[in-house]
Structure 1
Amino acid sequence: MSTTTTTAARSEERTTNQHFSLDADGKEVVDLSFQSEGLGLPAEKGYGWAQLEFSEKIGYDLRYTITRKLGWGKNSSTWLAWNEVLNKYVAVKVLTGHATDLHERKMAWEEQALKRLTFPSVSENCVHILEYFTMKGRGSAGSHLCFTMPLYGGDVRSLIQSRTSPFPLPLVKRILLHLLRGIAFAHERGIVHTDLKFDNVLFTTPATTEDIEKWIQEDPPRRNPPELSSDGVVKSAVSQPMKLPSEEEALRATYVLADFGCALPSKRHAHCNITPVLLRAPEVLLGGEWDTPADIWSFGCLAYELITNETLFQYRTYDDFGLTETENLLYQMMFHACEEFEPTQLSICPLAGEYFNSNCELKKEPTLGRWPIQELIAEHKILSDEECFAAGAFVQRCLRLNPEDRATAKDLLEDKWIRGIE
């Protein structure tokens, strides 16, 4: 048999995600890629996503019937399920075997955070749990800690991606008000979210049971083509999230702070990075201690993005001044906060010496101007002068360089720009 024929035959035997490459010794090795979460990868190596079947029953008394996969992330997958006790559809968040093991070893805090958000009372603007249980997984996935929650319609990120222009101002204010209520509730319960982003802001759905069943009939649950894994050949479920609402429905929806997988108890933390870098507070960036004000900085960045449909900061080099990505980010923070870092703050930030001199100036001495948030918003020509000033002042209260100077979530709820909008 010719080499060409042999290669073709072997190719037909491969699954869709099986690719071959050569190592340093010229030996052929198999590289795997996955269309969705990597099913069949072991929990002990940091994976262990749940391998669930459609119509499978799980949970206490097998009361939850798996209907379809809504989505997945690094540490979990989320499923639409029918609750036979409540007679309604709910969402089931199923942690990976690795994440479950971290909980069992007290190295993760999501379970405790969700309990604090659920007992003794709940907030309509913060996610809460209906039940939680642990189930045995298949293959090398280990066990799965599961949280059952109310069914939501999707996340704000998907709403943003469905548009090419900024949201109308009434919707912007509604989302920010509800998100702020959720943050305030979490902070009151002694929780720092640490991962505020639009992916983690959900909205309620007006869909009835009949609507959902019609949707399932029109768009049945599906699976991806076969893929090779450590557990053999697997077929992951296709993510099929709920339908996006109309603008009118979005204006009536309730917005909910969700995904407390990275949450931590409120106290002074240090020496660990939290939040995506463009939403990261300066004290975190400089390796200093952080607490609830770090969430407020992230909220301010999100508020600006929701108003303008553009991110506030850019993580890239600034060649004119020879600034690295991090130096440039610190430069932008001072530029738009219209402040300079204080000696007392920099003295307690371990990484400050890498970027600042003894005069609290960036070592590379870039020309530092001032470009307040109000003027940035005005550049987009989407709000009246009065609204630009009020919105900019609101965001500016979140973006004070010193965390002790930032407004709290409770303070911001009293801001005239957002108060009474409903």
Structure 2
Amino acid sequence: MSKLLLITAIRNTLSKTYNNSHARTSSNLSVIVHRKNYTEPQHRYEPGGYHLVLPNEFYDRRYQVVRKLGSGRYSTVWLVQDTNDQSLAAMKVLVGDLSISDKKGGWDELGILKVIRDKNPQSFGYRHVCQLLDDFTHEGPNGNHICLVLEAMNLSVLDIYRSIPGAMAIPLLKRISKHVLLALQYLHEECDIIHTDIKGDNILMTGTPPEEGQLEIELKDSYLKSTTFKLSDFGAANAMANRFAEVIQPESLRSPEVIIGAEWDTKADIWNFGCLIYEFARGAKLFEPHWDNENSGMNPTQTLLSQITGLCGDFSPEFINRGRKSKLYFNDQGSLLRGAGKYTITLEDLLSRAGHSPKEVCETANFLSHMLVTDPKERWSAARLLHHPWLKSVGLHLRYSV
């Protein structure tokens, strides 16, 4: 057994009770979702931090707070009712520091959302992005807080994934993939925006948010075949004209160009998304930077590069030369200084352990192989991926043509 395969096997043992018979490859996609309650760190209710929001309060003399939906590092999110038309929306209240120019560090979620909202509402991808409905600034004891009023959405894809013992059903995975790629095509080609943080909890489903305290929810087959998946949370997004962030993406989903310090663009999102789709298809992460660091003597970046080259092959000399950090990891011959040849595995080998049919394994691996290309110049775009045969069957249950 290769060490990369061993990584996957151990992660399955530690994080999931899994065996191949649990792979959900049938046409019945119904899922029982088990939700968890998360609470933001209370010490962040301080100057420059969170704003204390209470149910039944009014904001901007229009939005009445119904209940809390969630929280993140830089915001809390609340279900509100628009008293103008009684519709529901999600109000994202950013921490106070994000309203101060010299503390934002280049982040501009509001500006990004306005571009997405206004660029081309007629685009197919437009309806697969969680849209900004309104915005205002609220003054509170911890500072001025930018408030983003967004579409109210249902559960996330991460909620589904965490509730499945093993791999996600391929038909469902295809639907998610097509919808997110439509969103990325719109962002990349029409808005010139890179999301930079594509994760399961940033892909949401249309529908009314769960009731407060509702921790077990059945998502029926008919719902999963008709819901629209939307890409959300643009707090870390960069405009192509202002790629201010030096390091982007979750560590295990980080693209090779970002790792070696080469220039990155919209193709970084494609690598990120490919790693995520593999994880859903396999039931475990593709790469684990912190695997066996103590015994191997390698740091997480060295481990990650070793795993990437073991799966995708050696980096080309031309690509290595584009990275300002390359000399930290590669010698003059283009070989890794640490971990060369340590891992060897293929996508087909890994996916075959998930219980999918041989045909599904082959087709899924081929689809992923066009996203998991080390050189971004050779990596497929979202538009090109949308024409891949793996996605041909998606659209039969859609309410509009894609």
TM-score bracket, normalised by the shorter chain, equals: 0.7 to 0.9
The answer on whether the counterparts of 1:398 and 1:406 sit within 8 Å (CA) in structure 2 is: yes
3-state DSSP class of the match of 1:259?
Answer: coil
Q: Which residue of 1 aligns with 2:192?
A: 190
Q: Which residue of 2 aligns with 1:36?
A: 40
Q: Are 1:291 and 2:290 counterparts?
A: no
3-state DSSP class of the match of 1:284?
Answer: helix
Q: Which residue of 2 aligns with 1:101?
A: 100
Deviation at 1:296, TM superposition (A): 0.5
> Structure 2 matches for 1:170-319, cutoff 5 A?
170-188=171-189, 189-205=191-207, 215=211, 245-267=219-241, 269=243, 272-316=246-290, 317=292
Q: Which residue of 2 aligns with 1:331?
A: 306
Number of paired residues? 352
Amino acid at match of 1:183: L
Runs of 4+ aligned residues of structure 1 deviating over 6 Å after TM superposition are 103-106
Deviation at 1:128, TM superposition (A): 1.0
Amino acid at match of 1:292: T
Q: Which residue of 2 aligns with 1:75?
A: 74
Amino acid at match of 1:83: D
Distance change (3 Å), C-alpha of 1:320 and 1:288: same
Segments of structure 2 that go 5 or more residues without pairing to the other structure are 1-37, 396-402
Distance change (3 Å), C-alpha of 1:144 and 1:408: same
Q: Which residue of 2 aligns with 1:57?
A: 58
RMSD: 2.5
Amino acid at match of 2:55: F
Q: Which residue of 1 aligns with 2:370?
A: 397
Tell me the distance in 1 between the aligned counterparts of 2:199 and 2:135: 25
Segments of structure 1 that go 5 or more residues without pairing to the other structure are 1-33, 220-239
Amino acid at match of 2:316: E
Tell me the distance in 2 between the aligned counterparts of 1:271 and 1:258: 19
3-state DSSP class of the match of 2:201?
Answer: helix
Deviation at 1:119, TM superposition (A): 0.6
The structure that has the greater radius of gyration is 1
Q: Which residue of 1 aligns with 2:91?
A: 92
3-state DSSP class of the match of 1:98?
Answer: helix
Moved more, 240-249 or 77-86: 240-249
Q: Which residue of 2 aligns with 1:131?
A: 134
The answer on whether the counterparts of 2:282 and 2:350 sit within 8 Å (CA) in structure 1 is: no
The answer on whether the counterparts of 2:279 and 2:285 sit within 8 Å (CA) in structure 1 is: yes
The answer on whether the counterparts of 1:54 and 1:67 sit within 8 Å (CA) in structure 2 is: yes
Deviation at 1:242, TM superposition (A): 10
Distance change (3 Å), C-alpha of 1:269 and 1:129: closer
Q: Which residue of 1 aligns with 2:399?
A: none
TM-score of the superposed pair, with normalisation by structure 2 = 0.81
Deviation at 1:298, TM superposition (A): 0.3
The answer on whether the counterparts of 2:39 and 2:71 sit within 8 Å (CA) in structure 1 is: no
Distance change (3 Å), C-alpha of 1:100 and 1:246: farther
